[in-house]
A and B are shown apart, each in its own frame.
Chain A
Amino acid sequence: KQEVTQIPAALSVPEGENLVLNCSFTDSAIYNLQWFRQDPGKGLTSLLLIQSSQREQTSGRLNASLDKSSGRSTLYIAASQPGDSATYLCAVPGSNDYKLSFGAGTTVTVRA
């Protein structure tokens, strides 16, 4: 069974600082890895999907890296803003390509 761990569980930084969020998974036979953002009262917003053949994926201030062999992904958020405050979740499908296993998330607070 795929186990996904996210460290740290919570993070508080001053505005402008870069954020580094970590995700590790136990089964490296994955199709891809998705990073999501969760805001209170709202759904999960897909931020990035990185394929197993890719080493990184970028979208604006977001950059996700993937090291499949070591079972790790890192989400970097450059020049953080108070609007980046949210919970960030990573998810990987297991031996199939649809049953996502999620980490518990990292709750980020960016202080103005």
Chain B
Amino acid sequence: GAGVSQSPRYKVTKRGQDVALRCDPISGHVSLYWYRQALGQGPEFLTYFNYEAQQDKSGLPNDRFSAERPEGSISTLTIQRTEQRDSAMYRCASSFRRVARQGYYNEQFFGPGTRLTVL
């Protein structure tokens, strides 16, 4: 089946502009996550949705960052008044949390990411 998709794959913008990054999770996955990855580092958590509810936004760096998932499927991460330090790879993941015999199962599947460059 189709994996997690993200668009655009690359985004170049000028400082001060707003950008919107889109994530389309795997069908049936109720949980959706946004991460940000700097070069040479692992991804860092930004925010998490369960269905349409934003359960945790503790990783959003400041109030210029916001995310929504209004119908519990596609999600949009919006960055207002972009700054050069916002340049990074933005990754989306989805999962279907379930209880298995071995324990709580929550394998996250990642999309290809959006490479954001702020000039």
A residues contacting B by CB (< 8 A) are 4, 31-32, 34, 36, 41-46, 49, 51-54, 89, 91, 93, 96-105
Contacts and interface: CB of A to CB of B under 8 A. Distances in A.
30 contacts: A4-B42, A31-B106, A32-B103, A32-B104, A32-B105, A34-B107, A43-B91, A43-B110, A43-B111, A43-B112, A43-B113, A44-B43, A46-B109, A49-B105, A51-B103, A51-B104, A51-B105, A52-B103, A97-B97, A97-B106, A99-B45, A99-B48, A99-B59, A100-B33, A100-B45, A100-B108, A101-B42, A101-B45, A102-B43, A104-B41
B2 to A, nearest CB: 13
A31 B43 contact: no
B105 A98 contact: no
Contacts of B35: 100
A32 B106 contact: yes
